[in-house]
Amino acid sequence: AELRKASKRLSCHKRYKIQKKIREHHRKVRKEAKKRGHKKPKKDPGVPGAAPFKEELLREAEQRKQRLEELKQKQKLNRQKEHEKKRKLEAKKKAAKIKEKAEGKESSGKSKGKSNKLLNKNSKKSFCRELNKVLEASDVVLEVLDARDPMGCRCPQLEQAVACSGGNKKLVFVLNKIDLVPKDNLEKWLNYLKKEFPTVVFKSATLMKDKTTEQFTKRRARVDLSKTSQYFGSKCLLKLLQEHSKTQNKAIQVGVVGFPNVGKSSIINSLKGVRACNVGLSRGVTKSVQIVNIDKHTKILDSPSIIADPSNSALALALRSIIDTEEPGSADVLEGVNAIINHCSKQQVMMHYNIPDFRDPEEFLSLLAQKRGMLKKGGVPDIENIAKVVLCDWTGGRIRYYSQPPGFQKPPLYLTEQKITEMQEGFNLKNLDQENSNTVQALKYPSPASSITFQSAGMTNGIIEENKVIEEGSERENMETSEEEEEEEEKEELTESDEDQDDVEEEDDVKEVTRKAKLGKQQTNPTNSEEQMAEGENPSSLSFNLDKPAGEDDAYDFNTDYV
């Protein structure tokens, strides 16, 4: 049974008591007001009748009122005009956008053959173009690798392009973020990589002061810049480049390349000692070539990131491709997080995030969202936003994970022994090994127990040639055009089928007319028909029977059956 609401009815004794208390309260308030001398404000009596210049005063008062009303009306009209202007501007903008879309669709078919097409700075083709500029202009190419997954940061297409370019172009590995992996794992990777290309270990500065910005005040000195601005390996790398420039007897240009979030711009800032390039946690901050002068003999070229080939595995695309995490409902983020969790140790992930056991990545995301309070309406876990947070943690420098190098050394096909010796010429490898050991000894490293073991997906294929890049917009346009073509084909098929039906109907009408004409001849010449029946030859009846449709075989017709 439903609970009824409590009644508001009171007993008469209680009601009278309340009314009495209210009357006493009002009486008390009136007495206090009299003591204070507080009186009600009197109404304005207006201009007395005996006052001189009464009419003039009243006119002045009326004029003031009129002025105030006119001002109010003017302000109102001005507001309305402003609102109309805003509406017209918005309408014009909308119309311009619609026109641009319509013109874009029309010109998409015409502009396919044009090569001199302006590219957007954020487009993948512009990234490829800028990367090729850096590769052509540089004498030494620094391929930046993340120490947590060095094999996944290697691009075979880039290495092959540099190795087979001819001339005296060199490729050097820079193993960055070495403070995020255990020491033993770092030494294994260093021994593995230096057998193919000269390798420099590096720890770049995460925060650098800009030239234009002033130093922090005492109130704002919450961030400890001494820890974040420390960098190791810069002296070793600079010495290596200076020695190479001396052997070449000329000033050299050094290109810094790599996949997103490996720390290309941070390395340049560390070499310069000042924040010279923009740095951010988001992917694809650098969109064009930036030239930084280190000294008289060395220029460094910062390049946009390498574009990962869509044919790579989901894990490689999650960690190495430029995914826009700000887009709502992006399926790439969820796929990337699923791939990352599936390639990690489950117990270590549970220990790191401090969550209970989970069956699949979706349950992991829901548990983490509940723990961090990222919930939608009704307490539903916000899986999309927590997936973005997890992906940013893994691509940034927050999570310490490491991967093991391959068991045996198997260089790629484009790296022959002759190429390896050519790449190592001009560098003092003994000094390089000594400097690397000094930087390794100078840093503190996390223990393997506090890090997460990670299974690498191998080398990541990249797109360097501009012709091979397929933009997302062009893919959508191709899909739309293919759908439109299919619809047009269906319409053509329908029209053809309708025409065929019309032709069949016309043929049937012609056959009926011929049949009726033959029947008329039979009635006019009964003797001929009798003779034909007697002889057993009746071609008209045969032709009629053949011409008749299948549904009318049993129908009775006087012209043929009655003779």
Claim to verify: residue 320 and residue 300 sit in the same structural domain:
no
3-state secondary structure 348-415: HHHHHHCCCCCCCHHHHHHHHHHHHCCECHHHCECHHHHHHHHHHHHHCCCCCEECCCCCCCCCCCCC
Pick from 341-350, 508-517, 520-529: least confident: 520-529
Claim to verify: residue 136 and residue 202 sit in the same structural domain:
yes
Cβ(198)–Cβ(172) below 8 Å: yes
Q: Is residue 39 part of a domain?
A: no
Q: Is residue 68 part of a domain?
A: no
Q: Is residue 513 part of a domain?
A: no
The residue with greater pLDDT, 507 or 332, is 332
| Dist CA 379 CA 209 (whole Å) | 43
Claim to verify: residue 361 and residue 288 sit in the same structural domain:
no
Q: Which residue from 190, 339, 172 is spatially nearest to 258, judged by alpha carbons?
A: 172
Claim to verify: residue 379 and residue 419 sit in the same structural domain:
no
Return the ∠ at Cα 351 (arms to 350 and 355), rounded to 5°: 45
Per-residue pLDDT, averaged over 368-383, amounts to 90
In this prediction, residue 272 carries a pLDDT of 82
Please check the confidence at residue 334 and state whether its pLDDT lies above 90. Answer: no
Return the ∠ at Cα 245 (arms to 240 and 250), rounded to 5°: 170
Q: Is residue 111 part of a domain?
A: no
The residue with greater pLDDT, 179 or 407, is 179
Per-residue pLDDT, averaged over 286-312, amounts to 83
pTM, full prediction: 0.59
In this prediction, residue 503 carries a pLDDT of 53
Q: How far is CA 515 from the centre of its chain?
A: 73
| Dist CA 499 CA 493 (whole Å) | 10
Mean pLDDT of the chain: 76
Claim to verify: residue 192 and residue 338 sit in the same structural domain:
no
388, amino acid identity:
K
Claim to verify: residue 159 and residue 291 sit in the same structural domain:
yes
211 CB contacts (<8 Å, ≥6 apart)?
274, 275
% of the chain at pLDDT higher than 90? 13
In this prediction, residue 477 carries a pLDDT of 45
Where residue 491 falls among pLDDT bands split at 50, 70, 90? low
Domain that holds residue 187: 123-208+225-310+408-446
In this prediction, residue 324 carries a pLDDT of 56
362 CB contacts (<8 Å, ≥6 apart)?
338, 383
Per-residue pLDDT tens over the stretch 177-228: 898 889 999 999 999 998 888 999 988 877 544 443 334 333 444 444 344 4
In this prediction, residue 33 carries a pLDDT of 87
In this prediction, residue 392 carries a pLDDT of 84
Q: Which residue from 403, 333, 322, 321 is spatially nearest to 365, judged by alpha carbons?
A: 333
Claim to verify: residue 358 and residue 416 sit in the same structural domain:
no
In this prediction, residue 469 carries a pLDDT of 66
309 CB contacts (<8 Å, ≥6 apart)?
460, 461, 462, 463
Q: What distance, in Å, lies between the first and last C-alpha atoms of the chain?
A: 91
Q: Is residue 202 part of a domain?
A: yes
Pick from 21-35, 164-178, 310-324: least confident: 310-324
Pick from 1-10, 318-327, 369-378: least confident: 318-327
Pick from 332-336, 393-397, 550-554: least confident: 550-554
Does residue 298 sit in helix, strand or coil? strand
Overall number of domains in the chain: 2
Q: Which residue from 540, 500, 534 is spatially nearest to 516, judged by alpha carbons?
A: 540
Where residue 26 falls among pLDDT bands split at 50, 70, 90? very high
Claim to verify: residue 388 and residue 321 sit in the same structural domain:
yes
What is the domain-level CATH number for residue 385?
A: 1.10.1580.10
* Burial (CB count <10 Å: 0-12, 13-18, 19+), residue 96: exposed
Distances, alpha carbon 321 to alpha carbons 204, 399, 477, in Å: 22, 18, 22
Claim to verify: residue 201 and residue 287 sit in the same structural domain:
yes
Q: Is residue 558 part of a domain?
A: no
Where residue 39 falls among pLDDT bands split at 50, 70, 90? low
Does residue 453 sit in helix, strand or coil? strand
% of the chain at pLDDT higher than 70? 71
Number of other CB atoms surrounding residue 563 within 10 Å: 11
| Dist CA 412 CA 159 (whole Å) | 10
* Secondary structure element (H or E) that encloses residue 253, with its range: strand 252-257
In this prediction, residue 280 carries a pLDDT of 63
Q: Which two tokens stand for residue 534?
A: 């007697």
218-247 core/surface letters (b: 16 or more CB in 10 A; e: else) = eeeeeeeeeeebbbbbbebbeebbeebbee
Cβ(445)–Cβ(182) below 8 Å: yes
Q: Is residue 442 part of a domain?
A: yes
Claim to verify: residue 425 and residue 364 sit in the same structural domain:
no
Claim to verify: residue 298 and residue 373 sit in the same structural domain:
no
Q: Which two tokens stand for residue 266?
A: 């941070």
Does residue 145 sit in helix, strand or coil? strand
With the C-alpha atoms ordered 238, 244, 250, 253, is the resulting torsion angle positive or negative? negative
Cβ(230)–Cβ(269) below 8 Å: no
The phi-psi region of residue 258 (left if phi > 0; otherwise alpha if psi is between -120 and 50; otherwise beta) is left
Number of other CB atoms surrounding residue 177 within 10 Å: 23
Instruction: Give the chain's count of helices (H) and strands (E).
Output: 19, 10
Per-residue pLDDT, averaged over 338-344, amounts to 88
φ and ψ at 478, to 5 degrees? Answer: -60, -40
In this prediction, residue 548 carries a pLDDT of 45
| Dist CA 303 CA 332 (whole Å) | 25
What is the domain-level CATH number for residue 301?
A: 3.40.50.300
Per-residue pLDDT, averaged over 482-508, amounts to 53
Per-residue pLDDT tens over the stretch 134-161: 888 888 999 999 988 999 898 988 888 8
Where residue 77 falls among pLDDT bands split at 50, 70, 90? very high
Q: Is residue 14 part of a domain?
A: no
Cβ(257)–Cβ(134) below 8 Å: yes
Please check the confidence at residue 442 and state whether its pLDDT lies above 80. Answer: yes
Claim to verify: residue 186 and residue 139 sit in the same structural domain:
yes
In this prediction, residue 111 carries a pLDDT of 52
Up-side HSE of residue 464: CA atoms within 13 Å toward CB?
19
Cβ(178)–Cβ(202) below 8 Å: yes
